[in-house]
Amino acid sequence: MTKLGILLSSARPNRVGEKVARWVSAAADDRFDIDLIDLREVALPSFDEPTSPKSGAEKTTDHGRSWAERIDALDAIVILTPQYNGSYPGALKNAIDFLYGEWENLPTVLVGYGWNAANEVLPLLETLMGRVGADVLGTVGLGFREDLSVEGELFVSEEKNAALETALAAVESKVLAPVG
C-alpha cells in the first residue's frame, strides 16, 4: 500500500492543524497507509549537520538520520501549513532544509490554511518544494470564514473537497504509474 505522509507543520499550542490533518486523513483513508508527522513531536533543532544536505553526505546526528529515514520511507506527502504573517512556520522551513535528496521527485500535495485561503503561503511553499526537487501535484487553500473557523471547526466547500480529491488521485496515479 502507498505510504502517505501527512506533515503537520505548526508547532503552536493553539493550532488548528490537527483538525485539518483529520480532514486530509479522512479523504485519504483506505487508499493509503498514513504516517502522521507532527513537527511539534519531531522537534528538530535548528540545522546542525556539518555539511549541506545538497552534498548528499551522510547525516551525522541521530535526529538528522531519523528525519531523513522517515521522509525517505514515504511514497508521497501532504504538507499542511498555516499562513503565519504571509509565510510558513519556521519549523517547516527548517524541516525541509534538513534534507535534500529525500524530497527529490517525491509526489507532494500542499494544503494551506489561513486568511484569504492561504493565498500567500502556498505559492511560497510551492517554490521552495520545487527548489528541493519535490513533485508538487496540487495545492488546496482553506480560508478562515469560508472553510474553517479560527478555532478549527471545518465546513469545507465541495469545491475544496473536490480539489483535495483531485490532488490525492494525482498522487495515486503518479505512485502507481510504471517507471520508465
The predicted structure's pLDDT at residue 66: 97
Q: What is the reported pLDDT for 5? A: 98
103 residue type, one letter: W
Q: Output the pTM of the full model.
A: 0.96
The boundaries of the domain holding residue 160 are 2-176
86-131: per-residue pLDDT in tens? Answer: 999 999 999 999 999 999 999 999 999 999 999 999 999 999 999 9
Number of domains in the chain: 1
Spans in the chain with pLDDT lower than 50: none
Q: In whole angstroms, what is the distance from residue 76 CA to residue 73 CA?
A: 9
Q: CA 108, CA 171: separation in Å to the nearest integer?
A: 8
pLDDT at 127: 98
The CATH number linked to 86 is 3.40.50.360
For position 179, what pLDDT does the model report? 65
Per-residue pLDDT, 177: 77
